[in-house]
A and B are shown apart, each in its own frame.
Chain A
């Protein structure tokens, strides 16, 4: 947030805002391939992302804070993912889940975008093919850590004071 200018009152509010932001990250389903199967497990009873404040998967980008890109992103999908990302309210974060979303994986060809960070600002990368739900929970915890420290900008354009 742009409020940080070193004064006691504002920094305390800043800290509170960050705490609030990191405590309820609602993910948006952006399942593109087989990683989505593991992503569905994330909100199931066994792994239960609700314990971390990621209460439910939202199908509408207007109600989501975190986009979990799970699966390979084809070139034809790029305008869609960009539009969905723009429809999410700020602050918003992106997790690239799995090898294909993070770097293209084994699909080093003309049809697949070599990592979603070519088109979106990615906060956390998760290796694995597909990563286990625990690994994605670990990534969500890492994201919360970086939000609390103010490192993850949340898609907000840099507004220097």
Chain B
């Protein structure tokens, strides 16, 4: 019996000097893998234009119906995006979102991107509906406007028929 206890305590003693597996969370954060999907962001081209063209494909692809996109036509003199339209309402309900990344895959301009940020807890449901103010990046990214994709756009012409 004494041998058994000694053996058990020996294991305890050995573990005592081992390196601790605890991650001291608020001070040290666990490194996420490159594929980790966290909070969404809408990126900008390097000239400051939004990459999102308001095509609503992310809204269609979302299995949880968490995304709301409403598109408006760009003013050719002062455009928000290089395309004809831009998303003047872009809302993601973070509590509905399951972070599957289908929206990111659906995005034809690579505007939508899921970042590594995961600390999103909040006190109300309303505070977790992220609008344009929190989704659209302030800083431009390194992406350049693809010149061959967007034709020159200076207002819609077909409207003149009426």
Contacts and interface: CB of A to CB of B under 8 A. Distances in A.
Interface stretch (B2-10, B74-82, B116-124, B141-149): B116-124
Interface string A55-92: 00000000000000000000000000000000000000
Interface in B61-110: 63-65, 93-100
Nearest to A152: B123
A30 interface: no
B118 A132 contact: yes
Interface string B116-157: 001111111100100000000000000000000000000000
A37 B27 CA distance: 24
A140 to B, nearest CB: 9
How would you classify the secondary structure of chain B's contact residues: helix, strand, loop or mixed? loop
Nearest to A138: B119
Contacts, number: 89
B119 A105 contact: no
A95 to B, nearest CB: 8
Given A106-B64, A128-B120, A138-B119, A99 B97 contact: yes
Interface centre among B65, B93, B98, by most chain A C-beta atoms within 10 angstroms, is B98
Contacts of B94: 127
Say which size band chain A's interface belongs to.
20 to 34
A142 B123 contact: yes
B125 A117 contact: yes
B22 A103 contact: no
Contacts of B17: none
B14 interface: no
A128 B118 contact: yes
29 contacts: A45-B21, A46-B21, A47-B22, A47-B23, A51-B25, A99-B64, A99-B97, A99-B98, A102-B95, A103-B95, A103-B125, A104-B96, A106-B64, A106-B96, A108-B64, A115-B95, A117-B125, A125-B121, A125-B124, A125-B125, A126-B120, A126-B121, A127-B97, A127-B121, A128-B120, A129-B99, A137-B26, A138-B121, A142-B122
Given A104-B96, A138-B119, 13 more contacts: A45-B20, A46-B21, A46-B23, A47-B22, A103-B95, A103-B125, A125-B123, A129-B99, A131-B118, A134-B23, A134-B25, A135-B120, A139-B121
Interface of B: 20-26, 29-30, 63-65, 93-100, 118-125, 128
Interface of A: 45-48, 51, 99, 102-106, 108, 115, 117, 123-129, 131-132, 134-139, 141-142, 146, 151
